Structure 1
């Protein structure tokens, strides 16, 4: 028994074919609108890299070559960037390069550079991820919303801040180093080796600070009904300041 005649099926078949064509055309148009650019720049062992993005992800990784590889994926061909080499490294200013161009969409960056580099990164919104940097400075700032992840970082100065989003730090504190973490709303997590030493000033909402295995009754003080913890962990030679206005602060041991 035939439930549908051949004439009944034809409109359905044609409609499906048209829908498939439209989907393919839309995907092709989006792919054509995107632009991928890769550029290489010579670099020494100790370089400084600066990037000011508008929106999009920033991923920084290290490698063994004495050069910086910048790979950018741009949502629109209207966007542009003009890296500028300096005596100490490389500067990319997306905000300045695209001033007056209107909405340029997301610009997603992947940066590969020597491990001894210093990095200064910021974006209005998006994610920032930094891995295995061993230079003097790591700065990651998100003006509005986005997560920050710093893994395998061993720098003498680290600054990470956002308005909304999580901040994760897995690294070591250098003796005499300065470390500041600040979030308007999100969770700030620090994963540290057991033998680390630092002086801590941590501020968060009531009972939102968890020191875990790093709490020491003899060296630390709980102030303001649990809103602030001050004191030393180990030798206390690094300075660590953590501020979270509407989220938790958590410490973990590796």
Structure 2
């Protein structure tokens, strides 16, 4: 019996069974050690609030992405993922809106991680979002106002927008707008360094002031006798259609392009 056990032990060892077992235990130990660390590296906040159809969302972030998407519910759903060191996220419901201010709520902290927001709002909501660093995205919002501002670096994407007042502004990064210009509306897009692309229906009617001191302005299908290039082609003024809305675009060191839907 002792010989049989010895031969069996030797055979298993020759096949690397015990070596593999040690490897498995080592991997399991490393995995067990890393799992709590990974879970602690990112925290999540999630909450849903009842809302009127035309509620105002005001969100001020410090760093991280913000994505706001319209849906058919009379609710606002906030999902925030906080990277370490985790910031405080303290939403406040006021009489006419929901306010989230990461900068104010973490005042005095030398360092906080990115906070990445995913927000669902009623389609008729007013949206006012801002961050220092990070991309901002707003989709399918038709409320009275959409404002997206980045005080340092990041891209702004506004798609499916049908609002009377739209403002998008950054320092470094691209700006893309896909939407309809409403009669009597006011639209302003500004960047210091990046590309500004505006995708509009061909039937759009607006008064235009566009300035690109360092690069070019491409009017595409919207070029017509009502628009005039001045300042060696670095500035365009005039009207498209009946001039029913006001459109102002300025890009200090990047291009401006109009794209027909």
Instruction: Deviation per CA, 1:149-185: give whole Å up to 9, x if none.
Output: 0000000000000000000000000011000000110
> Whole-Å Cα distance in 2 between the matches of residues 36 and 118 of structure 1?
25
1:170 aligns with 2:202: no
1:191 aligns with 2:191: no
From 208, 232, 239, give the equivalent of 2:216: 208
Question: Which stretches of structure 1, 4 residues or more, deviate above 3 A after TM superposition?
Answer: 13-28
Answer whether contact 2:197 2:259 (CA < 8 A) is retained.
yes
> Whole-Å Cα distance in 2 between the matches of residues 206 and 79 of structure 1?
39
Q: CA deviation at 1:89?
A: 1.0
1:81 aligns with 2:94: no
What does 1:19-34 align with in structure 2 at a 5 Å threshold?
22=30, 25-26=33-34, 28-34=36-42
Q: CA deviation at 1:102?
A: 2.2
Specify the alignment match of 2:249 in structure 1. Answer: 242
Specify the alignment match of 1:140 in structure 2. Answer: 148
What does 1:109-124 align with in structure 2 at a 5 Å threshold?
109-124=117-132
> Whole-Å Cα distance in 1 between the matches of residues 152 and 215 of structure 2?
26
> Whole-Å Cα distance in 2 between the matches of residues 156 and 189 of structure 1?
19
Answer whether contact 2:66 2:118 (CA < 8 A) is retained.
yes
Specify the alignment match of 2:236 in structure 1. Answer: 229
Q: CA deviation at 1:84?
A: 1.0
From 157, 163, 167, give the equivalent of 1:149: 157
Which one has a bigger Cα radius of gyration?
2
Instruction: Deviation per CA, 1:6-63: give whole Å up to 9, x if none.
Output: 8xxx99x989986896577446413322111111111111110000000000000111
Specify the alignment match of 2:5 in structure 1. Answer: none
> Whole-Å Cα distance in 2 between the matches of residues 23 and 221 of structure 1?
66
Answer whether contact 2:156 2:176 (CA < 8 A) is retained.
yes
Answer whether contact 2:43 2:86 (CA < 8 A) is retained.
no
1:160 aligns with 2:168: yes
Normalised by the length of structure 1, the TM-score is 0.90
Count of matched residue positions in the alignment of Structure 1 and Structure 2? 249
